[in-house]
Amino acid sequence: MAANASAPIAVSSKLTPLPKSTNPNVQHVVLGDLLFKTWYPSRYPEELIGRDVNRLYVCQWCFKYCQDLVPFLAHRKLCCARIEPPPGQLIYSKDDYAIYEVDGEEHQLFSQNLSLFAKLFLDNKSVFFDVAAFYYYLLVYDAHHGPSRSPGPQIIGFFSKEKMSWDNNNLACILVFPPWQRKGLGKIMMGISYELSRLEGHIGGPEKPLSELGRIGYLKFWQARIANSILGMKNKTTLSVQDIAEACWMLAEDVVSTLKEMDVLGTKKRNDGSLAISKARVREWVSLNKVDLAPPVDEGGFTEDYLVEEDE
């Protein structure tokens, strides 16, 4: 996309700043043609941007950054990433959304710049320079239909995952970029993380502890996932926690905490000492809370090339 000095910058109104534990060193960020406030400090090099920056310009395609508008516009004209697909491998595509898997070791500069940008909106769980040990899963959207007016695919969020996790964590950190928040997009990435666990044959969950917002988001996701699984088991009237954990590829501790929040655990214990789960109470809970049980991820959306690699 060609850019010029008169290119408009839209101010996003989708944001609700979080309580700040530390004042951010960057007050506002321009991502492509969107201007919005930051929430937390990030470790951008002071020798490159200064100690207290009012506005930082970030490329929407490669996440390179600068403090001045003119070089930012010049970069946008020449950025190779603007006419290429996002880095990494396309692993999932459904409707207007796609997921690309990026190896932090193969794309170190991109992953570092993405992490620095993400830290402006994350209070913790952000790795800046030791990116080689992580995969980054980019949530990509057709920007023609989003708040940005720029053509072509737009990276609107991501989650990271350790290549080797002794705790079977399927997600390290997750972020939907502020202009695209409150659209239910986080559950797509959560769903992908659990589908990856299923494909790998490992029951897992997000890295703990979760932030308060992370806990709220995951609780909603887990509730719908568990309810869908329970009501989908037509041949069983009662189920154990282990039954649900295996069906949902979730950790038993996450299943228990979610069921307690839903208040659907029975009072009678099974022969093995575990508490039974009443499908009738789950059905009543879904109706009362008007929960959409449609899975956020379609198993058929994974690319054939990726599925073949996982089987090898």
Record the pTM.
0.88
Can you give the length of the chain in residues? 312
Ordered alpha helix ranges (H), the chain: 46-49, 69-78, 108-119, 186-200, 212-232, 241-248, 252-262, 279-289, 304-311
Q: What is the pLDDT along the chain (312 residues), one digit of tens a residue?
A: 333 333 444 444 444 444 445 789 999 999 988 999 999 999 999 888 888 999 999 999 999 999 999 999 999 999 989 888 899 999 999 999 999 999 999 999 999 999 999 999 998 766 667 899 999 999 999 755 445 545 578 999 999 999 999 898 999 999 999 999 999 999 999 999 999 999 999 999 999 988 888 899 999 999 999 999 999 988 776 678 888 999 999 999 999 999 999 998 776 666 665 667 778 889 999 999 999 999 999 999 999 988 877 766
**Closest to 111 in 3D by CA, of 87, 91, 93:** 87
Task: Cite the active site residues.
Answer: 207
Q: Is 275 helix (H, G, I), strand (E, B) or coil?
A: strand
Cβ distance 211 to 179 under 8 Å? no
For 19-67, give the DSSP string: PPSS--SEEEEEETTEEEE--S-----HHHH-SSEEEEEE-TTT--EES
